[in-house]
Amino acid sequence: MGVPVAHLPVLRALIDHLGIHAIIDEALPQHRLSRVSDADCVVTMMLNILCGRVALFRMDHWVGRTDVELLLGKGREADAFDDSRLAAALDHLDATGTDSLLAAVVQRYLERPGRETTYSVHQNFTSYSFYGEYADVSPCGPLPTFGHSKDLRPDLKPLVFGLTLHGSAGIPLVCTTLDGNTSDSRQPRPPRATRQAATQGGRCHRRR
């Protein structure tokens, strides 16, 4: 039984508009012996997660039930997206550096023709709960500890994640990870110099 593509073609169009596939392809060109590129694998995992299927397991079965050509392009076959191939793509992505790839996506978006010269900034925080003990946490890193849990699990220790976005497309500019008992309402906005560096000198209008 097939899976309705629903909103996935719109998401694929947005991924291409942001240049995510092209930028990953530039950083990680497809090997001549590989049936699909690392960029194809990343886009497939993004579509999988954004349709509500968060388990990155047996993805080739899920892909095979969708319209492969519509979502991933001509010549792609579902059985090429097995667990081993996706794991290899994630290894390559980690070795290249996700920060540098994200920076390239943001830079290309902000340098596109007809770009805005005034930038809006939206900042938001959320929490993610963890299980187990964390006695070996680095003293330099954020600490999972009891605090306000936004997923309604006060019995678990969360970390707080903050993200600063620009524009209607929600382009990430600055992200941070904080101790689990951090109050997001008391967190300052990123320094103006940081925002202007990200937007290459554009005027920043604050919006909460």
The one-letter code for the residue type at 167 is: G
Asked if residue 86 and residue 36 are part of one domain, the reply reads: yes
Q: Is residue 3 part of a domain?
A: no
Q: Of 56, 83, 107, which one is at a domain's C-terminal end?
A: 107
Over residues 34-72, the pLDDT tens digits come to 999 999 999 999 998 888 776 777 888 888 888 888 899
Spatial CA neighbour of 39 closest among 31, 49, 29, 47: 29
| Other CB atoms within 10 A of residue 85 CB | 19
Residue 5: partners with Cβ closer than 8 Å, 6 or more residues away: 66, 67, 70, 71
Q: Find the range with the poorest average confidence among 27-31, 107-111, 143-147, 202-206.
A: 202-206
Q: Which residues span the domain enclosing 21?
A: 8-107
SS3 85: helix
Q: Of 107, 130, 152, which one is at a domain's C-terminal end?
A: 107
Question: What integer pLDDT is reported at residue 182 of this predicted model?
Answer: 85
Q: What distance in Å separates the CA atoms of residue 161 and residue 150, rounded to the nearest whole number? A: 11
Task: Indicate the number of domains in the chain.
Answer: 2
Q: Find the range with the poorest average confidence among 32-36, 101-105, 123-127, 140-144.
A: 140-144
Record the pTM.
0.64
Over residues 162-191, the pLDDT tens digits come to 888 877 666 777 778 888 888 876 666 554
